[in-house]
Structure 1
Amino acid sequence: MLSKVKTVLSDSEHRHTLINATIALAIRLLGAGMAFLFNLIIARQLGAEQSGYFFLCFALVMLLSAVANLGFENTILRFSSANIHSDNALRAILKFALRNSLPIAIIFAIALYVLAPWLAENIFNMQGVTETLRFISPAIIGLTIVMLVAMSFQARHKLVASIPCQNIAHFILCGAAVTILSVESASTAALYMSLSLGVTSSFFYWLSMKDLNKDGEKPNSKELWYSARPNWVIIIMSQSVQWAAPVILGMYLVAEQVAFFSVAQRIALLTAFILMAVNLVVAPKFSAFHAKGDDEGIRKTALFSVRLLVLSALPIVLFMLLFPEFLMGLFGDEFKQGAIILQILVLGQAVNVITGSVGFLLMMSGHERDMRLVTLISGFGVLISVPIFTKIFGAIGAASATAFFISLQNLLAVYFVKKRLGFNTLRFWQKI
């Protein structure tokens, strides 16, 4: 066994993947811990009803920011990875994406602010959510910036900046403000979230640009748009699979049920933080290998990363399945009602992990349109089934539909990886 490990690690790419994945995992662990702590602060400080308002509005702005990004997240990652040695290309790619995305984000933020009373009364039937919607509307702009900037950092292998930019810095700032100032309302917490994202997006944008000079050729804007269009559908549908359920729950159930589901969902997503950490390392590698025409390099890196994922995630999955009431109870005794919801969502995330980085495999190797088809199926599946299952079975029905389509999305992506690239990530034990 030891000799096999030594043989695998004798490959420089595997060593690089392992070392950088370990670093990314450590930073991502910090990020997951901060996100968990932030959700804990919101739930315990605000209570079930007010935290339900906050989580509902935050899920909505996550969806709207995904639409505003116009698909440039994965386009930045792919093209920046391929042009990593050209500072001018890196600068131009990020500026091109922001120049096109920010006007949409600003329009969405203004529209959400103006329409907040109508949404609260006619869509969510929650009068108390109006101010929360208004105060969190600027967060759409901040989220759009941090996601695009984080992708640029990731493509440049600057993980120490990418992960805090994406999901640590604004949680720290907002969580600290909510705690120190003893915030008890969702609207005030939403205001601090918008302010936190404003600070972090400005800082990380400056940080991303300060070391880039104007040497090298600029990328072809037509190529960027050609990649972004299918990626836009992919991101919207992928975000719908993850975040549409809390918004839909807000239309049919009381705020407390939204809070139970949202907390369970955020705990379940801790299962996937290992996948996210590995993706930070392997996604730029897939793009670089594809640019060189090295299909064998893609296969070896993909299978090696799945082994890392399975070994790392299994203990977390088992703990969540065995002790759901303990985990939910950390947020307050009333949240224990969501234990079954947590178990269901964890199973969906477990499939997400064991299939590996199949989404990035397709997108970084030029098969965005296959991934677009996959996410269209899963995204529309969630948007159609969650309202039906919520009406019949409540939050448990929403969790079941969400977990099923998360699993289906990844299994379909496995099929297309096998079809296009010639190997099956589920057979991670095969020789590499």
Structure 2
Amino acid sequence: MTRGASLFIGGKGVNNALRFLINLLLTRGLGTSQYGIYALGSTIMTISYGLANLGTDQSILRFIPEYDGDRANQNRVLGLASLTSFLGGVLAAAALYALAPVVTELTLGTPLLTDVLRLFAIILPINSLINIIKSLFKSLELPEYQVILENALPAIRLLAVGIALFVGASVVGVVAAIVVGFVLAFGFALMLAFSRTSFRPTLGNSRENLIEFYDFSLPLTVSQMGTILQRRIDILMVGFFLSGSAVGIYNIASVLSNFLLLPLTAFSQLFPPIASRLYANGERDELNSLYTRVTRWSFTLALLPTLGAALYTEEVLSIFGEDFADGGVVLSLFVLGQLTNVVVGPSGYVLMMTGHQYLTLVNEWTLGILNIVFNYLFITEFGFIGAALATALTLTAINVVRIVQVWYIEQLLPYSLKFLKPIAAGLGAGAVMYGLRFVLSGFPLLVVGGAAGAVVFVAGLVVLGIENEDREFFATVLPIGG
């Protein structure tokens, strides 16, 4: 787990930097209105992918480890997942292409959005197969190749966006360049999968295999749609009720807040297959220990950037242009919502990997519907700040529900008194970072405040005493020995 997290943290750091540069180029090159068109189109593509995916990526994480030693069955799972995901992608792409004018009329009303949506539709089946290959590497606990693949796509996209903007392309030209980038990325992913693994997708699954596969994947598809209702429907509703500029400002705040999930995402790369194996073998104590450590480590590593994003919202947003600084309150609300994600750790994966996929489905859809209701009520009253408030409340609710369910059903709880140390160190760092606001402003505050907060946070952890298990972790993540 630590090996996978260390590789992923480094790789995801590069990935986040690439995505940051992509959004920086887009915001600076397109402005708030055209960036809003891009953001809305990208969001609708994400929603469409939730339908196209059909839960196949999670099925690979479940069944490839479960069939360990049975290569024929593993190849059939991979073949079934690939075919299902590709056909789902084609159907979703056709629907998005046909409905693009209708979506445009219901939202921003600009013909540019229709063109953007139809270009994004081309990406759907390609992206489905890329994610199948990512899940294969993840299920095999080969994080190094997953990291390579995760970084190849944004690197190619960054190059494509840069070239398009350099030649003066509008948002349509930029998205067309991104489509070309996805095609190149798929070729690279395919080459990596065939050269680094001996897996070869086949069909011929038995009726029992089909029932087992779809009994797991289809509920997760419906569940993933509920997740999208929680996490992406807000941008769609901002586009429906407000302007392209509002979508652009809102989206950049959402993108920035997602960076706070890096530590949890890193540890979650190998958590599902390991958790599935431990649970299947009846090793509950080991599973709870792993669950507890992942949660505390994720919280500790995410706390400092969370403080920075909450205390320096306007300074962070101003990097993308002065118009984006209006999203300060939105970013603060998103930060609070994402903090609850980190605090409960990989609770959602615990439910899925212990066979409670139907409960996950109910969770996601119940809170997804609540998110729609809250967004409607709050957007009409408070604008895009209301959308952020609705989404933050929904994130908090789903995370409270998950942690209670894991404890009640499986008697697993990821907390201990060891959490008090990073909390105390965070309070000290936050006080210093806030105090610097009285003497600095703008970009200098961002740099000096961030550095000072990091020094105080690390010093606080050292003074309070670093746990032995943490020393082992950091000795692996950072090549410093010990």
Question: Structure 2-normalised TM-score?
Answer: 0.81
* Residue 269 (structure 1) shift: 0.1
Q: Give the letter aligned to residue 336 of structure 2.
A: L
Q: Give the letter aligned to residue 54 of structure 2.
A: L
Match for residue 42 of structure 1? 26
Alpha-carbon displacement from aligned partner over 1:253-308 (angstroms, at most 9, x marks no partner): 11010000100000000001211111002121101112212111211110011121
Q: Give the letter aligned to residue 193 of structure 1.
A: I
Match for residue 177 of structure 2? 192
2:59 to 68, 75, 79: 75
Structure 1: gaps (5+ residues): 1-16
Structure 2: gaps (5+ residues): 420-466, 470-482
Instruction: Work out whether 1:278 is the aligned partner of 2:267.
Output: yes
Over 3 Å counting, the alpha-carbon distance change for 1:223 and 1:199 in structure 2 is same
- Kept after mapping to 2: 8 A contact 1:87/1:212: no
Equivalent residue pairs, number: 415
* Residue 18 (structure 1) shift: 2.5
Over 3 Å counting, the alpha-carbon distance change for 1:301 and 1:143 in structure 2 is same
Q: Give the letter aligned to residue 161 of structure 2.
A: V
Instruction: Work out whether 1:212 is the aligned partner of 2:195.
Output: no
| Counterparts of residues 288-327 of structure 1 (less than 5 Å) | 288-327=277-316
Take 1:41 and 1:403, find their aligned partners in 2: how far apart are those partners?
28
* Residue 427 (structure 1) shift: 4.3
Take 1:237 and 1:427, find their aligned partners in 2: how far apart are those partners?
31
More divergent stretch after superposition (77-86 vs 411-420): 77-86
Alpha-carbon displacement from aligned partner over 1:231-259 (angstroms, at most 9, x marks no partner): 11221111222221111111111101000
Take 1:360 and 1:310, find their aligned partners in 2: how far apart are those partners?
17
| Counterparts of residues 230-269 of structure 1 (less than 5 Å) | 230-269=219-258
Q: Give the letter aligned to residue 113 of structure 1.
A: Y
* Residue 164 (structure 1) shift: 4.3
* Residue 214 (structure 1) shift: 6.6
Q: Give the letter aligned to residue 65 of structure 2.
A: S
The alignment's C-alpha RMSD in Å is 2.2
Take 1:157 and 1:313, find their aligned partners in 2: how far apart are those partners?
24
Match for residue 162 of structure 2? 179
Overall identity of the aligned pairs, in %: 22
Match for residue 124 of structure 2? 140
Alpha-carbon displacement from aligned partner over 1:48-72 (angstroms, at most 9, x marks no partner): 1111100100011011011111112
Q: Give the letter aligned to residue 111 of structure 1.
A: A
SS at match of 2:54: coil
Larger radius of gyration: 2
SS at match of 1:138: helix
Q: Give the letter aligned to residue 207 of structure 1.
A: L
Alpha-carbon displacement from aligned partner over 1:311-363 (angstroms, at most 9, x marks no partner): 10110100100111111111111100011111100110010011000011110
Question: Structure 1-normalised TM-score?
Answer: 0.90
Over 3 Å counting, the alpha-carbon distance change for 1:85 and 1:329 in structure 2 is farther
SS at match of 1:212: coil
Match for residue 8 of structure 1? none
Take 2:140 and 2:417, find their aligned partners in 1: how far apart are those partners?
28
Match for residue 379 of structure 2? 390
- Kept after mapping to 1: 8 A contact 2:107/2:241: no
Moved over 6 A (4+): 214-219
Over 3 Å counting, the alpha-carbon distance change for 1:266 and 1:213 in structure 2 is closer
Take 1:158 and 1:229, find their aligned partners in 2: how far apart are those partners?
26
Take 1:383 and 1:165, find their aligned partners in 2: how far apart are those partners?
34
2:37 to 46, 53, 59: 53
Match for residue 97 of structure 2? 113
- Kept after mapping to 1: 8 A contact 2:264/2:345: yes
SS at match of 2:141: coil
Take 2:319 and 2:65, find their aligned partners in 1: how far apart are those partners?
41
Take 1:362 and 1:123, find their aligned partners in 2: how far apart are those partners?
36
* Residue 396 (structure 1) shift: 0.4
